[in-house]
């Protein structure tokens, strides 16, 4: 076995038991159980919903929380509890699409910039700086406004805003890793650039990217909900949480439950995402 392989393989294999030991701690197991329960709601929320979340029932309009309607009803008589459950699917699916797109694009762009260096790095980073020069929500609002109000366009707008952060993160990691002895040894052995990036560099910057992606899920959820709240995201009768908050603001004084329960759902979900991100930050190697 070559010395370059020893430098690359031994530290990574030695980290695995330590990472698993950290993840088995009671606090992490409790958090994992909460995540499993939440994902179950996301996956089968439409099955758990007691009634059709889109079906109006004018005779039951604006009823408060009760045994018949655990979270009350909206101005059209639709069950808020059912809408929150189904809205979990829409909101989390949006977050997954946004983060996956941003991480994928940002990783590719950042890896190319960091590994190529020179004028390629300069051009890519100046384009990245152009996106980072604008406040994220303002830029997302401008893009969503240009594309037209819909949840799909809102997801696209937030993805476009989010990828530069990952490009910056990955570029910094690649700049440091590509100078490591095992990368130099692989290059001297005749490995082509794609193999070096995929086999020797990519595995060593995945941890910070995973942690950052998990921490960003809450922010992506809030940003998407914000666009829906101002009418640039999900459109009626969609039960997306931000759209539900928007529907309830006109009745806040008389029907508090219309805004309270979607707001609590957003709060709890963001709290869960952030807690998972912090735990991963402590458990995964830097």
| 1: confidence class by pLDDT, cuts 50, 70, 90 | very low
User: pTM of the full predicted structure?
Assistant: 0.82
The pLDDT tens digits for 115-172 are 888 888 899 999 999 888 888 888 888 999 898 889 999 999 999 889 999 999 999 8
Return the structure tokens found at 278: 């912090």
Cα gap 106→170, rounded to integer Å: 7
- pLDDT over 60 (residue 81): yes
Strand, coil or helix: 220: helix
Predicted pLDDT at 79: 92
Cα gap 118→124, rounded to integer Å: 10
What mean pLDDT is predicted for residues 245-258? 88
Identify whether the C-beta of residue 241 lies closer than 8 Å to the C-beta of residue 225.
yes
Calculate what percentage of the chain has a pLDDT beyond 70: 88
Strand, coil or helix: 225: helix
Strand, coil or helix: 79: strand
Contacts of residue 110, Cβ cutoff 8 Å, sequence gap at least 6 = 166, 167, 168, 169, 170, 171, 173, 174
Give the H or E element holding residue 277: helix 257-283
Can you list the domains of the chain with their CATH numbers? 3-49+67-283 (1.10.3720.10)
Strand, coil or helix: 73: strand
Identify whether the C-beta of residue 151 lies closer than 8 Å to the C-beta of residue 233.
yes
Chain center to CA of 48: 24
């Amino acid at each position: 076995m070559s010395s370059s392989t020893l430098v690359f393989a031994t530290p990574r294999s030695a980290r695995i038991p330590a990472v698993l030991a950290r993840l088995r701690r009671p606090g992490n197991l409790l958090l994992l159980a909460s995540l499993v329960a939440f994902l179950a709601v996301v996956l089968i929320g439409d099955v758990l919903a007691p009634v059709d979340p889109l079906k109006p029932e004018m005779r039951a309009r604006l009823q408060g929380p009760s045994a018949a309607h655990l979270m009350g009803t909206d101005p059209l008589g639709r069950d808020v509890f059912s809408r929150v459950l189904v809205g979990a699917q829409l909101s989390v699916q949006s977050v997954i699409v946004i983060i996956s797109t941003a991480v994928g694009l940002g990783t590719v762009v950042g890896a190319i910039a960091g590994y190529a260096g020179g004028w390629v790095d300069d051009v890519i980073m100046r384009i990245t700086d152009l996106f980072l020069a604008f406040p994220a929500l303002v830029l997302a609002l401008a893009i969503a406004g240009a594309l037209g109000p819909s949840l799909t366009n809102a997801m696209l707008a937030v993805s476009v805003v989010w990828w530069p952060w990952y490009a910056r993160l990955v570029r910094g990691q690649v700049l440091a890793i590509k100078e490591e002895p095992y990368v130099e040894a692989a290059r001297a052995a005749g490995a082509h650039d794609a193999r070096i990036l995929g086999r020797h560099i990519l595995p060593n910057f995945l941890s910070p990217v995973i942690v950052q992606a998990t921490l960003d899920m809450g922010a992506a959820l809030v940003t998407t909900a914000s666009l829906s709240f101002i009418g640039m995201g999900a459109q009626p009768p969609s039960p997306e949480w931000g759209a539900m908050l928007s529907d309830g603001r006109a009745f806040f004084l008389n029907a508090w439950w219309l805004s309270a329960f979607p707001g609590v759902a957003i709060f709890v979900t963001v709290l869960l995402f952030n807690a998972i991100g912090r735990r991963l930050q402590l458990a995964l190697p830097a």
